[in-house]
């Protein structure tokens, strides 16, 4: 059993998952906490110089980026064994701009959503985007992937991952995009229920952060049905941080489970 990541033990996990782009940017991740000196000062990128192939060599703390086995993202098969899904309880939440220099990101000023999975309860921390999508489905990548990062009382992380495809403009996602790509201090109020797909067919598996330090023990719940964003909305995310996606990693002996997760109001 792989150990679960805790906020206290992640060194750079604090801002790295949320991150995922920007050449020559300092490492920082999603949870929202502290990182070690090396993780906060070591520079990495998605370019050839300092790119993913070199991450492990940039810091001893990042060795999992090359030696880890349950790494993310992965290719998701449409055919997978069925299992237990997650329960997502949603509500309104105030979000605030928190661009890390690595990804367009907003932080949740209150819960907004709570995910119940395998007996644990995880509350929303932040939302960030990757262009193009990091996970693929039978080898095909969507235009973008949005991560809603949650943590439980022990600091362990769970990520709801949503694919985005180009199509009609999403009025529901526009406040998130505007806030994430705005100047410092921008904020908005959104209802998480409005942001999630209507059909909650999901994949679940255990993986890692998709940015240095590539720490393992992350619970992933990936929605099959994509949300629809206009080309202009996708471009707004891409323009802020172009191509901030890690390539797919070997599955190894991990099990991917297909399940129907439930989404319903429930967060005050």
What would the pLDDT profile of 30-83 be if each residue is shown by its tens digit? 433 322 223 456 888 887 777 899 999 999 999 999 999 999 999 999 999 999
Q: What is the pLDDT of residue 21?
A: 33
The average pLDDT across 224-250 equals 95
What is the H or E stretch that residue 158 is in?
strand 157-166
- How does DSSP classify residue 156? -
Q: Give the least confident one: 31-35, 189-193, 263-267.
A: 31-35
pLDDT at 133 over 90: yes
| Cβ atoms of residues 255 and 107 within 8 Å | no
The average pLDDT across 219-238 equals 97
Looking at every residue in the chain, the average pLDDT score rounds to: 85
Q: How far apart are CA 127 and CA 85, in angstroms?
A: 21
Q: How far apart are CA 171 and CA 126, in angstroms?
A: 20
Q: What is the pLDDT of residue 28?
A: 37
| Cβ atoms of residues 174 and 196 within 8 Å | no
Compute the 3-state secondary structure of the chain and give helix, strand, coil in percent, each to the nearest 5: 20, 35, 50
The average pLDDT across 198-221 equals 95
Domains parsed from the chain with CATH numbers: 7-265 (3.10.200.10)
Name which residue leads in pLDDT, 184 or 221. 221
127 confidence band (pLDDT: 50, 70, 90): very high
Closest to 267 in 3D by CA, of 116, 98, 107: 116
Q: What is the pLDDT of residue 32?
A: 34
């Amino acid at each position: 059993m792989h150990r679960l990541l805790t906020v206290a033990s992640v060194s750079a996990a604090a801002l790295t998952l949320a991150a995922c782009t920007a050449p020559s940017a300092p490492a920082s991740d999603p949870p929202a906490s502290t990182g070690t000196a090396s993780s906060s000062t070591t520079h990495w990128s998605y370019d050839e110089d300092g790119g993913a192939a070199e991450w492990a060599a940039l810091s001893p703390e990042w060795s999992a980026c090359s030696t880890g086995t349950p790494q993310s993202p992965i290719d998701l098969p449409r055919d997978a064994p069925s299992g237990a899904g997650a329960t997502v309880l949603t509500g309104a939440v105030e979000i605030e701009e928190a661009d890390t220099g690595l990804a367009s990101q907003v932080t949740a000023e209150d819960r907004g959503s709570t995910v119940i999975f395998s007996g644990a309860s995880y509350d929303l921390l932040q939302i960030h985007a990757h262009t193009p999508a990091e996970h693929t489905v039978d080898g095909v990548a969507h235009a973008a992937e949005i991560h809603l990062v949650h943590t439980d009382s022990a600091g362990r992380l769970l990520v709801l991952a949503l694919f985005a495809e180009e199509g009609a403009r999403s009025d529901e996602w526009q406040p998130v995009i505007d806030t994430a790509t705005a100047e410092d201090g921008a904020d908005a109020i959104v209802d998480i229920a409005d942001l999630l797909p209507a059909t909650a067919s999901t994949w679940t598996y255990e993986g890692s952060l998709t940015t240095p330090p590539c720490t393992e023990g992350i619970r992933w719940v990936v929605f099959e049905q994509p949300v629809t964003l206009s080309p202009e909305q996708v471009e707004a995310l891409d323009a802020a941080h172009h191509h901030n996606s890690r390539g797919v990693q070997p599955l190894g002996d991990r099990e991917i489970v297909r399940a129907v997760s439930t989404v319903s109001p429930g967060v005050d």
